Amino acid sequence: MSVPRGALPVLAAFLACVPVTGCATLSWYGEAAIGQMRILAARRPVAEVLADPATSAATAANLARVDAILEFAARDLGLDVGGRYRTYVHLDRDAVVWNVFAAPEFSLTPHRWCYPVVGCAVYRGYFNRDRARQEAAALAARGFDVHVGRVAAYSTLGWFDDPLLSTFIGYPDERLAELLFHELAHGRLFVPGDSAFNEAFATFVGREGAAAWLLATRRDPERFLAAKHAALRRVDFFRAWRGRLRALYAEDLPDDQRRLLKGALFDAMRSCYAERRRRLGPGFGGALPASFNNARLAATSTYEDRTPSFAALFARAGGNWGAFYRAARELGDREPGARDEALRDLARAHAAPHRPEERDALLCRHPRVAAG
């Protein structure tokens, strides 16, 4: 359940022209700026990499796929490609950055970090894994639930020509297309300070765009479409369990008792997830880790929760990408409260209400769980 992509606020380190206070904050800006500069300095034109005899056959084959995907993004999806993904960087690691997420022990509201230009975000990215772990440990010592997620790609929102990276260039065709469309979508629309809007918008564009690309290239999209529908089922699943957790956290109970009940609810959620995965097949998603907590649940909801709203918006636009982007931008221009309400209305209009037995199925209700 890692978070593989996103609009990373390390960009703020490059663009900040305001003073920052505190050694930890200043240190992060320095590390982020250096990490970004190293990525930019290491870029090589794809044509040069392909002509290099030292380039492996596998890397060459992977890079050769990209032009057709980018052409589709510009022509059929209306995404601005420009000079992005025309260069390549090989990294001697399996992630380009590591994102830190945090949430209070008894809350699903994610901790936020704020930056110049890009506003606040619910994660902080580190090019150094040890630094990310140190930040997570410091937050855990303050009582937060924490999660550190590997990131294969990120967007600088069009400020720089983002390169292809060895961390994702070997993905299967449909997954590579989805990732590139996701990152290009960040450059099309980005609302400062609203991570949930930005990530759900890009996640929807990535998935819907990849499905369209598979159909246009006469490939069998069934497996990918099944995975897309499974992702929507996961949205419902996690939404139902967040409701149970929120109800618990709102109760006036001693912390020790709430802590025990929280652990029992997360154990029940893992068991229920495994049960639904057995029934629905592996397309429902990978197994939940034992460390699944408020922070990891907040990270998952940031990327997934509002995707049904954008699916409804796309349907209202008649499947026309230009009309969809205009409608999404209009939403992004609203005040946060009005934007959230409009997104909720869209989600309600898109999804049929769950019957009681369907809600029970999402929670795997039986006496052991229902008594939580």
Evaluated on CA atoms 191, 194, 199, 201, the torsion sign reads negative
Q: Are 246 and 108 in contact (CB under 8 A)?
A: yes
pLDDT score for 182: 96
Q: CA-CA distances (angstroms) from residue 329 to 60, 97, 191, 319?
A: 37, 28, 9, 16
Looking at this protein, which amino acid is placed at residue 153? Answer: A
Using the structure block, give the residue that is written with the tokens 């990270």: 299
Contact partners, residue 263, CB within 8 Å, separation at least 6? none
Helix (H) or strand (E) holding 315: helix 307-316
Looking at this protein, which amino acid is placed at residue 297? Answer: L
- Burial (0-12, 13-18, 19+ Cβ within 10 Å), 300: buried
pLDDT score for 236: 86
In the chain, which ranges are E strands? 44-45, 87-89, 97-104, 113-115, 119-121, 124-126, 144-151, 164-165
Mean pLDDT by 10 residues, the chain (372 residues): 48 42 66 91 97 97 97 97 96 95 96 84 93 96 96 90 97 94 96 94 95 86 75 85 95 96 95 88 77 92 91 96 98 97 89 60 60 38
Q: Are 306 and 197 in contact (CB under 8 A)?
A: yes
Q: CA-CA distances (angstroms) from residue 166 to 5, 43, 54, 60?
A: 14, 12, 15, 11
pLDDT score for 354: 56
pLDDT score for 358: 62
Q: Can you tell me the distance from the alpha carbon of 17 to that of 300, in angstroms, rounded to the nearest whole number? A: 32
Looking at this protein, which amino acid is placed at residue 30? Answer: G
Give me the helix-helix angle, 57-64 and 66-75, nearest 10°: 10
Secondary structure (3-state) at 2: coil
pLDDT score for 22: 42
pTM: 0.88
pLDDT score for 11: 52
Looking at this protein, which amino acid is placed at residue 226? Answer: A
Q: Can you tell me the distance from the alpha carbon of 88 to that of 45, in angstroms, rounded to the nearest whole number? A: 6
Secondary structure (3-state) at 53: coil
What tokens were used for 354?
A: 């769950």
Secondary structure (3-state) at 132: helix
Tens-place pLDDT, residues 165-222:
999 999 999 999 999 999 999 999 999 999 999 999 999 999 999 999 998 988 777 7
* Cα first-last separation, the chain: 25
Tens-place pLDDT, residues 89-129:
999 999 999 999 999 999 999 999 988 777 888 999 999 99
CA angle, residues 281, 287, 291, in degrees to nearest 5: 160
DSSP 284: G
Q: Report the DSSP beta bridge partners of residue 99.
A: 125, 149
